[in-house]
Amino acid sequence: MDAEVFQQRGRAGKERNRRLSEREGSGGAWGRFFSYFTLIYDSMVEKYKEVKEDIERILGRQFTKLQMIGGGAKSEVLAARIAQKLQLNVKAGPYESSALGNILLTLLYEKEVASVNEGREKICEASEVKYYRGNRI
């Protein structure tokens, strides 16, 4: 991303934050608290959108679903916002992806599972996973 685009996005973010503050009024400490969360989540969703569009452009194909893994997938607000903004179906989970990856490698080494795919299936069956639907226009 070049400096001009970065500067434009910075201005757009400041303007969005100003509009949010005006819309929510003073709101006291709670209003500011939720404004910060709104700004953070909106920023994360925009980054997901940007990366998704870059990958689609590079690969020449469109995606209709996304899987979130790791601790961020625990946030129902983030997962729902991604589904809505990107118009995708989102599968959130498993959450402890690093630990589960290490367990999978151990299972492969000990020949408890025959393949990475078999291990993934077992992990998904044993893990909490939530689904969020993006509303297609």
Q: Quick check: 70 and 97 in contact, CB under 8 A?
A: yes
How crowded is residue 39: how many other Cβ atoms within 10 Å of its Cβ? Answer: 16
pLDDT at 37: 84
Encode pLDDT of 50-101 as tens digits: 999 999 999 999 999 999 998 889 999 999 999 999 999 999 998 888 888 8
Encode pLDDT of 17-58 as tens digits: 666 556 555 555 555 666 788 889 999 999 999 999 999 999
Cross-strand partners of 66: 90
Q: Quick check: 72 and 41 in contact, CB under 8 A?
A: no
Query: How many angstroms separate the CA atoms of 79 and 72, rounded?
Result: 8
Enumerate residues 6+ apart whose C-beta is below 8 A from 2. Answer: none
